[in-house]
A = this chain, B = another copy of it.
Amino acid sequence: MAKKISKIAVLTSGGDAPGMNAAIRAVVRSCSYYSVSCVGVYRGYQGLIEGDFEDLDARSVRNIINKGGTFLKSTRSMEFKTKEGRAKAYEKLKEKGVDALIVIGGDGTFTGGLYLSQEFDIPIIGIPATIDNDINGTDFTLGYDTALNTVVEAIDKIRDTASSHNRLFLIEVMGRDAGDIALNSGIGAGAEEILIPEEETGADRLIDSLKRSKKSGKTSSIIVVAEGEKSGKNIFELAEFIEENLDDYEIRVSVLGHIQRGGSPSCADRVLASKLGVGAVEGLLDGKRGAMVGIHHQKVVFVPLEEAIKGEAKIDKELRRVADITSV
* Interface set of A (CB-CB < 8 Å, partner B): 12, 15-16, 18, 20, 25-26, 29-30, 32-33, 58-59, 62-63, 65-70, 73-75, 139, 145, 148-154, 156-161, 163-166, 169, 184-185, 187-190, 216-218, 252-259, 261-264, 266-268, 270-271, 274-275, 277-278, 297-300, 318-319, 321-323, 325-328
Interface of A is mostly: helix
Contact: B16 with A262, CB < 8 Å? no
- Number of copies of this kind of chain in the complex: 4
The residue that A255 contacts in the complex, of B30, B255, B277, with Cβ under 8 A, is B255
Interchain CA distance A152-B274 in the complex, whole Å: 14
Known contacts: A58-B216, A268-B268. The answer to whether A164 contacts B322 by CB under 8 A is no
Alpha-carbon separation in the docked complex, A276 to B190 (Å): 15
Q: Are B66 and A33 in contact (CB under 8 A)?
A: no
A217 to B32, CA, bound (A): 13
Which residue on chain B has the smallest CB distance to residue A300?
A: B318
Report the minimal beta-carbon distance from A147 to chain B, rounded to whole angstroms.
9
State the Cβ distance, A195 to closest chain B Cβ, in Å.
18
C-alpha gap A278/B324 in the complex (Å): 11
| Residues of chain B within 8 A of A70, CB atoms compared | 164
**Which 5 pairs across A and B sit closest by C-beta, in order of nearness?**
A157-B262, A68-B160, A69-B160, A160-B262, A148-B267
**Set B25, B58, B59, B184: member contacting A267, Cβ < 8 A:** B184
